[in-house]
Amino acid sequence: MKLLKPIVAAVAALTILSSCSMLSKTASNATTSGSNTGTALAALYNIFKTTGGIDLSNLTNLINLGQILGNIGGLGNATTSFTDQFSEGLISGSANLVNKNNVASVLSGLKTLANIDTSAITGAASAAASGAPSTLTSSSAGVSTTLSSLTSIFNALQ
């Protein structure tokens, strides 16, 4: 019986902690997703500005693109609160490359990007992260529309 009280207290404490963390999980996920997207977007933008394009056979580019695609899924039918928190993370993650003046255009481009079938790209990014060579070509599903959407986003950053 003496052992039961600490177990019950521990279970109660864990229940309270998990319910509190569930309340803050959405906000933290939106901000974190935005920040991760901003960091990868800034890296790709810098490469785009330097080279004039995005080489999808380059491991770093693929990983950054995979990072963006993996973090924008929640934007499709996001609440205003989620979008606001995502935007805050996007601005900070991009080191203010995305800012209050261009964030609406960037979000619009990211929402468009979220609606493209990028399964070939995410598969290639995942394989590349494991060390496999990229098999993407301009004719791979979703590649040309993804690059077109990225170019629109990059234009909003200029």
b/e for 26-44, b at 16 or more Cβ within 10 A?
eeebbbebbbbbbbbbbbb
* Integer CA distances (angstroms), 65 to 39, 61, 81, 119, 133, in order: 11, 6, 25, 12, 15
Q: Using CA atoms, how far apart are residues 107 and 72, in angstroms rounded to an integer? A: 9
The pTM (predicted TM-score) of the whole model is 0.75
Specify the number of domains making up the chain: 1
Helices (H) and strands (E) in the chain, counts: 6, 0
The answer to the question of residue 14 being in a domain is no
Range of the domain at 82: 27-157
Q: Using CA atoms, how far apart are residues 37 and 15, in angstroms rounded to an integer? A: 32
What are 65-85's pLDDT values in tens digits?
Answer: 889 988 998 888 889 999 999
The answer to the question of residue 101 being in a domain is yes
Indicate the average pLDDT of the chain: 78
The answer to the question of residue 95 being in a domain is yes
The answer to the question of residue 6 being in a domain is no
The answer to the question of residue 12 being in a domain is no
What are 85-111's pLDDT values in tens digits?
Answer: 999 999 999 999 999 999 999 999 999
What pLDDT score was predicted for residue 143?
81
Q: Using CA atoms, how far apart are residues 85 and 121, in angstroms rounded to an integer? A: 27
Residue, of 18 and 141, whose pLDDT is higher: 141
